[in-house]
Amino acid sequence: MIPKDCRYTNEHEWIRPDGPDHVKIGITDYAQGALGDIVFVELPSTGLTLTQMQPFGTIEAVKTVSDLFSPIDGEVVEVNEAVKSDPSIVNKSPHGEGWMIRARLARPGQMDDLLTPEAYEEIVRGLDGGA
C-alpha cells in the first residue's frame, strides 16, 4: 500500500498536501510493518520548527525505538493526539488516521525533491528481496 497522493523519504516517512501550504506527515505501511506492534509515540508540541531530515519525535515498538524524521522544513501546527493516546492506530491505518503531525511548509517546492510513489515502491521492493 503506497498511496499515490504522497511523497516519501528513504527513512519511510510519507508527506501529503493538506491545504495550500500545509501537509500531514506519518510513517509508511512498510515502516509500521517492520516495526511491529507500536506501543508509544513521542510527538513534538505545536510551534516546533522542523528542519528537513532532522528528528521531530520517536516511535517505540515492542522490538525497537526509532526516530521520526521531518521530510521538510516547516512548523508543527497540529499533533495527532489520537495517536499519542492510542499508538496502535499507526499499525491499523498508517496512511490515514495514523498521521503524526500537520505542518506548515517553509519551502513548498521542497516536496518536489522527495521520492515519488513509484521511486519509493522500488526501494520497498528492493528491501523485500524483489517480492
Q: Give 109's contacts (C-beta < 8 A, 6+ positions apart).
A: none
* Cβ pair 83, 100 in contact under 8 A: yes
What is the rounded distance in angstroms from the CA atom of residue 130 to the CA atom of residue 120?
A: 13
* Per-residue pLDDT, 128: 77
Could you give the maximum distance between any two Cα atoms of the chain, in Å?
Answer: 41
pLDDT digits (tens, 9 = 90+) for 32-68: 999 999 999 999 999 999 999 999 999 999 989 999 9
The segments of the chain whose pLDDT lies below 70 read 130-131
Give the per-residue pLDDT at 65. 95
Q: What is the pLDDT of residue 63?
A: 84
